[in-house]
Chains A and B, each alone.
Chain A
C-alpha cells in the first residue's frame, strides 16, 4: 500500500468506517483507528455546537446531536479551516425539518453573525464625507461583513430571546416579507430585520453600487418625493450603522481608501 492508497483508505475509515477498511491497516490497528474515528466525529460535532449555540438550545441537545450526525455523514469537511465547517448546516436542518423555515433562518443568522465577526475591517465613515460628493457619480461601498437573506419568519426574535435568556416566542411566519441583515460595526456583529423596500435597496446595491441607481429604484417603488427622501434617509442610517463603508465619486476627497 503506497502513501496515497493509505491516505485514501484512512479517509474512507473516517467518513464511513467498516471492518474491511480497518483490516487494511492490520489487526493491531483497530484500537487506534477508533481513537481517530472518535476524534473526527467529536471534533465536527463540537464545531457545530460552537457555531450554532442557539439552534442547539432551541432544538435541544438530543435533536441537535442527531442533526449534527446527519450533517457529518452527508457533508465531510473540505476546507482548510474548521471554521468553515457547518456553513451549509441550515440546508441539513431544512431537509430534516422541512416545515420549520424558522429553524433554517435561525441557523442562517448564527452562521452569518460568525462570518461577520471575522470579516475584513472597515473604518468608521463620518458624515463629514458627504460634503462635496458628486451624487450623480457616487458609489456606495457596503461593508464586506454584510450578509442578506429574505426573511419569512420571526427567527430574529427567536435568536434574540435565546441569546438573552428570555422567553422564546413561538416560531411564526411574517405578515409581510422582509429581509435579515447581518453585519459588523466595530468588533460587534449586528442583526436587523428590515422591510421589503429596504431589503430590496440593499440587495440592489450589491449589483449596482451607484447612489443614482438606488434613487431610481426607490423612486420606481415609492414615487418621486418619497423615493428620494427614503434614499437619503437610508444612506444616513447605513452610514451610522457601519453598513456603508465608503462613498466614492471618483474624486480623492470622498473615498476613504
Chain B
C-alpha cells in the first residue's frame, strides 16, 4: 500500500487556457492550481511550457478524466505510462481521477460513465486502483462523479462503495460537493448521508462547481457559478472534514478571473466559519 496522499488545506482554482495569461503574468492569489492531466500529456509545445512556468509559481494538482478505473477491460497501460511521465515531470500535489468508466472493447466514450455499486464492481475497481497506484508509484485520489442513471442491482450506496474502495486500496478521495448535490437530486438520496458516510480522513481535496437544471434532472455542466445549496452543503462538508484543499472547477462559459477568485474567497470564508463552528 502506498503512502497516503499529503494533507494540504489551501484554496485553488482549475487552470484553464482562458486564464493562462493571468497566471503567467501576475501573482494570482491561490494556494494551488489544478489542471486536466490529459491536456498536458502531449509530447511538447506550448502547453507543457506553460505548465512548467505555472508550476514554478504554484503547487499543481493533476486531475484526469481518462483513467477509466471502472472499466471491466482493465486499464490502458499506455495511458498510465504517459501519465507517469507527466507526474514525474510536474511532481504534483495530488493525482486524481474519477470513480467512473469510459472505455470498453476498444471504444472510449470520453465521458464519466456510472459504475454500478455492486460487489463485483468493487472488486474490479480495487484491482484497477492497485494497478494504477503501482504504475504511478503513489496513492491517487478518486472523485465521486455526477450520475444520471442508477442501477437496479446496486448492493450498496455510493458512499459505502467509496469508503470500502478507499479502505482496501489506500487511495484518497476527492469530494466533489456539486456532484453529491446533483446525484442526490437525481437519485433521491440525502446528500448529508453521503457526507457522513465517506471516511473524512481519506478526503484530501474538495471540488466546487456549478450545474445546469434540465427537465427533471440536474446536469453537471461546470458552466455556472456554484449555487447556494452547494455552498451550504460545502459548509457542512468542511465542518465534517476539517482543513482540506478546496478548489473552484469551471470549464465552460468561462468568466473573468476575478469572478472565479470571488468564489475562491467565498470558499475560504465558509471553510473558516466551519472550522470555528467545529472548534466551538
Contacts and interface: CB of A to CB of B under 8 A. Distances in A.
Interface residues of A, number: 41
B214 A35 contact: yes
Contacts of B141: none
B106 A78 contact: yes
Nearest to B45: A118
Interface in B59-89: 66, 70-73, 76, 78-79
Contacts of B186: 32
B149 A85 contact: no
Contacts of A184: 45
B170 interface: no
Nearest to B221: A39
B105 A11 contact: yes
Given A40-B109, A82-B110, A11 B104 contact: yes
B272 interface: no
Contact of B113 (A1, A36, A79, A82): A36
A36 B149 CA distance: 9
B162 to A, nearest CB: 17
A44 B216 CA distance: 25
Nearest to B65: A82
A14 to B, nearest CB: 6
A121 B149 contact: no
Contact of B103 (A33, A80, A187): A80
A119 to B, nearest CB: 6
Interface in A1-23: 1-4, 6-8, 10-11, 14-15
Interface string A43-85: 1100000000000000000000000000000001111111101
Interface string B33-74: 000001001111111110000000000000000100011110
Nearest to A81: B38
A6 B79 contact: no
B79 A33 contact: no
B111 A118 contact: no
B111 A36 contact: yes
B120 A85 contact: no
Nearest to B64: A80
Contacts of A35: 148, 214, 217, 219
Contacts of A121: 43-45, 48
B149 A33 contact: yes
Contacts of B111: 14, 36, 39-40, 43
Contacts of A28: 150
A77 B108 CA distance: 5
Main secondary structure of the interface of A (DSSP, over half): helix
A7 B149 contact: no
Contacts of A36: 109, 111, 113, 148-149
A50 B149 CA distance: 29
Given A11-B105, A78-B108, A25 B149 contact: yes
Contacts of A40: 109-111
A152 to B, nearest CB: 29
A80 B120 CA distance: 24
B229 interface: no
Given A31-B217, A118-B43, A184-B45, A14 B151 contact: no
Contacts of B101: 7
A244 to B, nearest CB: 17
A8 B108 contact: no
Given A3-B116, A35-B148, A187 B45 contact: yes
13 contacts: A3-B118, A3-B121, A6-B116, A6-B151, A25-B151, A31-B215, A35-B219, A36-B113, A40-B110, A80-B103, A82-B110, A119-B43, A119-B44
Interface of A: 1-4, 6-8, 10-11, 14-15, 25-26, 28-29, 31-33, 35-36, 39-40, 43-44, 76-83, 85, 117-121, 144, 184, 187
Given A80-B103, A121-B48, 19 more contacts: A1-B153, A4-B104, A6-B116, A8-B105, A11-B104, A11-B109, A14-B111, A15-B107, A31-B215, A32-B186, A36-B149, A40-B111, A77-B108, A80-B79, A82-B110, A85-B110, A121-B43, A121-B45, A187-B46
